Structures are given as structure tokens and as C-alpha cells.
Amino acid sequence: MTSSWIRKITAASLTAALALGITLPLAQAPAVQAVTYDSQTVAFGPGFSENVVDAFVRYIDAAQFTIDGAFYEIRYQPIVDAFIRAKNRGVQIRLITDTDYITNTFTQQLISAGIAVKGDNRSALMHNKYAILDGNKLWMGSANVTDTDNANNYDNTILWESQQLADIYKTDFEEMYVYGQFTRTASPSTPDQQKVSVSTSTRTIPVEVYFAPEDNPIQQLINLVNNAKYNIYFNYFSFTDDNLRQAIIDAKNRGVNVEGIFDSSQYGSNGPYGELAYLANADIPVSIAENRFNGKMHNKVLIVDKGYTIGAVATGSFNASANANDTNSENLMIIRDKATADAYYDEFLRIRGDYGRGTASIDKTTVGLGTKQTVKVTLRAPSTYPINKIKVMAPPKWPDPTASTVTAVKSDGTNVSGNLTFSGNYVYFTNANLLGNQSVTFTFNNWTAPTIAGDYTWYIETVTSSAADMYDYLPVQLQAATVTVQ
């Protein structure tokens, strides 16, 4: 039968049915499947409308079924209260923490409330800071769930609504919580199964996850640096890995723009074991974070090629150190996404602030271990900007400067030693009034060099106008006053 006859019969049948008052069933349109997207919520703090750990309290309160959390330390009462509220409404909670903190009052409140909490029972650190909520959301980053990481320390977090990422982290969680697998030999390494694409409503984000110690995360950071084409920016609480440092220097030498930020406490305690002096000696701009919130620079962030489509960010709990890589339980996430890299760069600039004016130099390149030295450090003002105030930080492991060991003379011959003040390893010259191209030389007399070999930097900050407080001092861009002790 031809199609024209079929159409005629169908039309006739419809006419007859309508005449008899019969309603024929209409063809059903195919059901439209709602499109759902994953999401990514990046947060930095403090200094914004909501602190990062306070935001996590909201996420706990929104959980309906399960929470699995790996937290180095729990030390914030609103977090404890939120977990107890979740437990009381029927949410199943499993937590693991570092053994050093399982006896603190906050963790003990959770245990007393019937929440299952385990320690790692070893000397190395369970240093993670992540949670899987309802099996399909992941909260991770550099922030411990403590009062100081909430309100004082520079930190970053990301909430991922992603089943794929939640599954990856749940596997790591259960290795620790269920099977007690913490070491490199005990924990299976499956990095090929830890690479996913997160599809949001605006873009697809390739994400890679690496766990320590089994996945050797430091090599992934070195790979990022080795493949950088345009720029590298980093801000690390602890950075003591020599191989990563050398990769960064090599990148600078091939024309990649490099800048970095260190935490002040770690610079002081690490001394020659940290990487600031070595990078400064390679003419890489490095600065020590001045924290207006009376805390630490606690990030563990590496940014490469911001501003370009190949931009990427590495973040997580992982410091650039041998302990983090070889013995601790850690996580490192690499996010290959321009928008994320640009957001992290904006936070890098917020922490770093502007550079101070002037250039620093030193009269020596090498000195002997434990030898008596006279060291001269010179700061020169630029041609167009005067310098009103100067702060010089003597390197760790050297003696603290005092009025009896430090003198200062301006390039016009004026002895300004009587204008210096001292505090710990700092020297202040608060009425320098260096005009364009003028300089001042600080002479550190009869100083005993350390007995630990390495590079040491005299770190210099300046002010071009009146300083209301210590945060008006800005680091000079090139901390070139570095000497090698050998």
C-alpha cells in the first residue's frame, strides 16, 4: 500500500473518530533528560566575606547521608558542633586524624558523641585535609579544620560536586581508615585511574590527583615546572625540595617568568634547608609573606602559565618537601584550567602585595664554614623614587645584629649608625631619606658564619612614603644580597 493511501485512511479515521466524540491517543514526545553538571567552588581566606572553614561548616550541615573525612588536626568548635549535629540527624560519619591530635579536647568530644574517629598510629604525619560528603562531593585544599586556619592563616579550599573525584578520594580514605595502609609499599599506586574530566555548566576541567607517599607527587610538580612555557608562581608554607628548586631555576634560565612567596616562620626555621636563598641567588623574585591576620602563609600552591589556555594549578595538603613526598599521607591535585589558574594568581598577588623600591647587593659570594666575617650589604634607591624607611632581616643561623656589630653609611659619606634600631634578627633604618640613586651600606662586623653549608640571604624591605605599620614595608624585587657558606 502506498504512503498516500495510508495518509488518506489515517485522515479518514481521525475525521470519523472526532465525529463520534472519540479521543484518539496522541503520539508521545520523547522525554527530555535533565542535564546535570558538576561544579567547582574555589575559596581563599582569610579576608573575604566567609572564612574557608566556616564555609565547610555549611557543607557539613547540608550533608544527608555520609561524611568521610581525613583531617590532620581538628581544633575548631563550630566544626565539632556541625559533626555532632550531622550524627544526630542520622548521617554516617567516619573520620581519621593524625595520632598526635586524637587526644585533644575537640576530637574527644566527637568520640564521646559516638562518632567513629581513628588515628594513623605512626610517627609520620596523616597530613590530609579533605572530606567526601554524601558520596558525590569533595572538599579539599590546604586548610586544617582549626580556628587559626579559619581566621588567621592564608589558605585555599575547593568544593567539588563531582562523583568521579569523590570516588577517587574515597578510595584513598578507605585505604587509611579501613585497611590501615599508609606507607609507600602498603598503599597501591593507581595514578592512571586518578585522572578525570569535570564537566561544569561552563567548561570541562581536566583534573589529576596524586597521593603521597605511593604516587611520588613531587615528580608531578617537577613535570609541571619543566613543561611551563610562560610563567610560574608559587606560594608554599614549606619548600625544601632541592630538585623542584633546580627545576624552577632551569625554567627561569630558559626565559620563563618566575616569582615565589615563602612563609616567614618556615624561612627562619629552615634556613639553608629552605629554598629562598638559592632562588634569590638565581635572581628570581622571592618574598616572605606579611600576614595582616597574624597567621601563617599556609598555602601549598604552584601555578604555571596563568593567563593562557594551558594554565594549571597544583594544590592540596602537599608541601614541597621530602617528608611530604616519602612518608606523610598527603594529597596533590593538578587542575588544568585557565580560569582556575587565573583565580589562584589573583590570590598570589593579594598575598604578595607590591614590591618595594631599590636593589640589594652584597660584597661577598662565598665564605668559609664557622669563619669570622665582615659582610657589607648595600641598598640603592632607584633614580626616580626616594626611600624613606628600610628593614633588613639578617639570615637564620647567623648572629642577631646589634648596635655593637652593625654600622651604616650612606653613599654621600654620612654615618647613620646612630639611626638604626634592632629587634631580633631585624635592622630598621626609619628615616633613611635616600634620594634617587643614593645608597646605604650596612656593615655586619665580626660575624661568625654558620657551620651549616648553604646559601643565606639578607632580606630587605623598603618604604617610599610614611609607614603606618610594619605591613607598609615591601620586599625589594630582587633579593640579591646572598652569600654561600661552604
**What DSSP assignment string belongs to 311-341?**
-EEEEES--BSHHHHHTSBEEEEEE--HHHH
What pLDDT does 98 receive?
A: 97
H helix or E strand, kind and range, residue 9: helix 3-19
What pLDDT does 34 receive?
A: 54
For residue 413, the SS3 value is: coil
How far apart (Å, rounded) are the C-alpha atoms in residues 134 and 112? 23
Q: For cell 592564608, what's the residue? A: 154
Among 372, 396, 365, 389, CA closest to 458: 396
What pLDDT does 322 receive?
A: 95
Q: Is the pLDDT of residue 10 over 80?
A: no
What pLDDT does 196 receive?
A: 97
Report the pLDDT averaged over residues 146-157: 98
Q: How confident is the model at residue 386 (pLDDT cuts 50, 70, 90)?
A: confident
What pLDDT does 19 receive?
A: 39
What pLDDT does 468 receive?
A: 54
Report the pLDDT averaged over residues 397-421: 95
Q: How confident is the model at residue 1 (pLDDT cuts 50, 70, 90)?
A: very low
Q: Report CA torsion sign: 108, 111, 113, 116.
A: positive
Report the pLDDT averaged over residues 91-105: 97
H helix or E strand, kind and range, residue 207: strand 204-212
H helix or E strand, kind and range, residue 156: strand 155-161
Q: Is the pLDDT of residue 5 over 90?
A: no
Weakest mean pLDDT among 32-46, 364-378, 399-413, 466-480: 466-480
What pLDDT does 472 receive?
A: 66
H helix or E strand, kind and range, residue 108: helix 105-112
Q: Is the pLDDT of residue 446 over 70?
A: yes
Q: How confident is the model at residue 466 (pLDDT cuts 50, 70, 90)?
A: low
- The answer to whether 186 touches 330, Cβ cutoff 8 Å, is no
Q: For 152-207, what is each residue's pLDDT tens digit?
A: 999 999 999 999 999 999 999 999 999 999 888 878 889 999 999 999 999 999 99
Helices 52-62 & 77-88 angle (0-180, nearest 10): 10
Report the pLDDT averaged over residues 366-392: 90
Backbone dihedral region of 335: left (phi > 0), alpha (psi from -120 to 50 degrees) or beta? beta
> What is the CB-side half-sphere exposure of residue 100 using CA atoms within 13 A?
8
Report the pLDDT averaged over residues 135-153: 98
Domains and CATH numbers, the chain: 39-186 (3.30.870.10), 197-352 (3.30.870.10), 359-485 (2.60.40.2110)
Residues whose CB falls within 8 Å of the CB of residue 2, separated by 6 or more in sequence, listed in order: none
What pLDDT does 170 receive?
A: 98
Among 43, 47, 42, CA closest to 350: 47
Q: How confident is the model at residue 44 (pLDDT cuts 50, 70, 90)?
A: very high
In the chain, % of residues over pLDDT 90: 75
* Long-range contacts (CB closer than 8 Å, 24 or more residues apart) made by 466-473: 466/388, 467/388, 467/389, 467/430, 470/290, 471/290, 471/292, 472/389, 473/290, 473/356, 473/389, 473/391
Q: Is the pLDDT of residue 108 over 70?
A: yes
What pLDDT does 12 receive?
A: 42
How far apart (Å, rounded) are the C-alpha atoms in residues 57 and 470? 34
Q: Is the pLDDT of residue 14 over 50?
A: no
**358 - beta bridge partners?**
none
Whole-prediction pTM value? 0.88
How far apart (Å, rounded) are the C-alpha atoms in residues 324 and 126? 10
More confident residue, 311 or 13: 311
Q: Is the pLDDT of residue 6 over 80?
A: no
Q: How confident is the model at residue 67 (pLDDT cuts 50, 70, 90)?
A: very high
- The answer to whether 474 touches 356, Cβ cutoff 8 Å, is yes
How far apart (Å, rounded) are the C-alpha atoms in residues 445 and 376? 9
H helix or E strand, kind and range, residue 278: helix 276-281
Q: For cell 561548616, what's the residue? A: 57
Q: For 197-239, what is each residue's pLDDT tens digit?
A: 999 999 999 999 999 999 999 999 999 999 999 999 999 999 9
More confident residue, 396 or 308: 308
Among 182-191, 278-287, 315-324, 459-468, name the most confident range.
315-324
Weakest mean pLDDT among 13-17, 168-172, 396-400, 437-441: 13-17
446 grid coordinates: 665580626
H helix intervals, 95-160: 105-112, 147-151
Q: Please report, as a single letter, which amino acid is at residue 12.
A: A
How much is the mean pLDDT over the chain? Answer: 89
Q: For 237-267, what is each residue's pLDDT tens digit?
A: 999 999 999 999 999 999 999 999 999 877 7
